[in-house]
């Protein structure tokens, strides 16, 4: 859909969350966008801006939850779906259909990992406080760190080892999302990631490559990059970050 309208991103203020892979796509490409909820409510920002859409009081498709993007008359929700829409317009995916399908498949896999990482500290229900489910989180964390995290990261390492890239030799939105996942896991589980990363050297190198991109580096150092905190998806609860486990399954 051709339009000169601004890209408007809607996500909860104060956290990176599922909106961050979308921000990284904008920042890497130098694409102007409006992070709507970071504006004052008096100027149409804040969480109230999101609720207008969720309640159906704004035009366009009604999203279940953020993140969602408004571009002209179009409203697109779900991180992977938003990026599938944006990437061809921002030059972050090849033109051919097999590459686009591959990118979407990998992005959906990354989102699965993000959900599992979140559910480590909220294994029962997102509506409960962490302290209300801490015992269950203490049981969940070792399983995630020993089995699930290595399964996902090992998969991406195998792709890099076989193909030399995740989607294509050119930087893609999947590379940016993989960078974000490594950043988040390092914040949430620093001991476990330090122990595991030597087993995924290509994925670690991809992370460093993305971090060194001039626009990404500038963004990471700016006030636009919300810092990780204990209200987001990746949370640092030291009691959940077990000592390095020799039984981590690749």
d(CA 144, CA 113): 10
Q: Kindly state whether residues 102 and 209 are assigned to the same domain.
A: yes
CATH number at residue 204: 1.20.1050.10
Q: How confident is the model at residue 16 (pLDDT cuts 50, 70, 90)?
A: very high
User: Do 103 and 215 belong to one domain?
Assistant: yes
Within 13 Å of residue 71, how many CA atoms lie on the same side as its CB?
A: 16
Q: What is the pLDDT of residues 167-194, one digit of tens each?
A: 999 999 999 999 999 999 999 999 999 9
pLDDT at residue 249 tops 90? no
Closest CA to 129 of 17, 237, 21: 237
Question: How high is the pLDDT of residue 106?
Answer: 98
Three-state secondary-structure class, residue 67: coil
Q: Are residues 145 and 163 in the same domain?
A: yes
Within-domain flag for 42: yes
Q: Is the peptide bond before 161 cis (omega within 30 degrees of 0)?
A: no
- The H or E element that residue 170 is part of is none
- CA 27/CA 38 separation, integer angstroms: 16
* Its pTM surpasses 0.85: yes
Share of the chain above pLDDT 70, in %: 95
| CATH number where 68 lies | 3.40.30.10
237, part of any domain: no
In tens, the pLDDT along 155-164 reads: 999 999 999 9
Determine how β-strand 7-10 pairs with β-strand 68-71. antiparallel
Same domain, 14 and 56: yes
Q: Is residue 171 part of a domain?
A: yes
pLDDT for res 96: 97
205 lies in the same domain as 134:
yes
| Shared-domain flag, residues 34 and 104 | no
* pLDDT of residue 69 exceeding 50: yes
Residues 50 and 26 in one domain: yes
Assigned domain for 250 exists: no
DSSP 57: -
Mean pLDDT rounded to a whole number for the chain = 95
User: 132 and 71, same structural domain?
Assistant: no
* C-alpha pair distances (Å), 192 with each of 17, 146, 219: 21, 9, 27
User: Where does a domain end: 72, 90, 108?
Assistant: 90
Residue 242 within any structural domain of the chain: no
Please give the angle made by the CA atoms of 237, 131 and 177, to the nearest 5 degrees. Answer: 45
Same domain (yes/no): 223, 105: yes
Same domain, 156 and 127: yes
pLDDT digits (tens, 9 = 90+) for 86-135: 999 999 999 999 999 999 999 999 999 999 999 999 999 999 999 999 99
Rg of the chain (C-alpha set): 18
Question: What domain count does the chain have?
Answer: 2
Q: Does 234 reside within a domain? A: no
| Helices marked H in the chain | 20-29, 47-54, 79-90, 97-121, 134-143, 149-163, 173-188, 190-196, 201-211, 214-220
**pLDDT score at 197:** 96
| 3-state SS, one letter per residue, for 182-244 | HHHHHHHCHHHHHHHHHHCHHHHHHHHHHHCCHHHHHHHCCCCCCCCCCCCCCCCCHHHCCCC
Q: Does 219 reside within a domain?
A: yes
For residue 160, CA distances in Å to 29, 87, 182, 211 come to 23, 21, 15, 18
In a domain, 168, yes or no: yes
Specify the pLDDT at position 5. Answer: 83
User: 210: domain range?
Assistant: 97-229
Average pLDDT of span 205-217: 98
pLDDT at 250: 54
Do 111 and 217 belong to one domain?
yes
């Amino acid at each position: 859909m051709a339009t000169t309208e601004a890209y408007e991103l809607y996500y909860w203020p104060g956290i990176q969350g599922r909106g961050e892979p979308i921000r990284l796509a904008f920042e890497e490409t130098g694409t102007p966008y409006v992070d709507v909820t970071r504006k004052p409510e008096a100027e149409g920002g804040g969480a109230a801006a999101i609720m207008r859409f969720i309640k159906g009081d704004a035009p366009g498709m009604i999203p279940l939850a953020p993140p969602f993007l408004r571009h002209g008359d179009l409203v697109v929700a779900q991180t992977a779906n938003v990026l599938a829409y944006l990437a061809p317009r921002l030059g972050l995916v090849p033109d051919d259909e097999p590459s686009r399908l591959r990118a979407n498949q990998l992005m959906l896999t990354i989102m699965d990992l993000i959900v599992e990482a979140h559910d480590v500290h909220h294994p029962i229900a997102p509506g409960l406080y962490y302290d209300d489910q801490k015992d269950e989180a203490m049981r969940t964390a070792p399983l995630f760190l020993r089995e699930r995290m290595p399964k996902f990261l090992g998969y991406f390492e195998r792709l890099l080892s076989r193909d030399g890239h995740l989607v294509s030799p050119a930087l893609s939105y999947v590379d940016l999302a993989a960078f974000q996942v490594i950043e988040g896991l390092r914040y949430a589980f620093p001991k476990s990631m330090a122990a595991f990363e030597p087993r995924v050297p290509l994925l670690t190198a991809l992370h460093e490559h993305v971090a060194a991109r001039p626009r990404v580096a500038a963004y990471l150092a700016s006030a636009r990059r919300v810092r990780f905190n204990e209200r987001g998806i990746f949370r640092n609860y030291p009691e959940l970050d077990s000592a390095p486990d020799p039984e981590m399954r690749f």
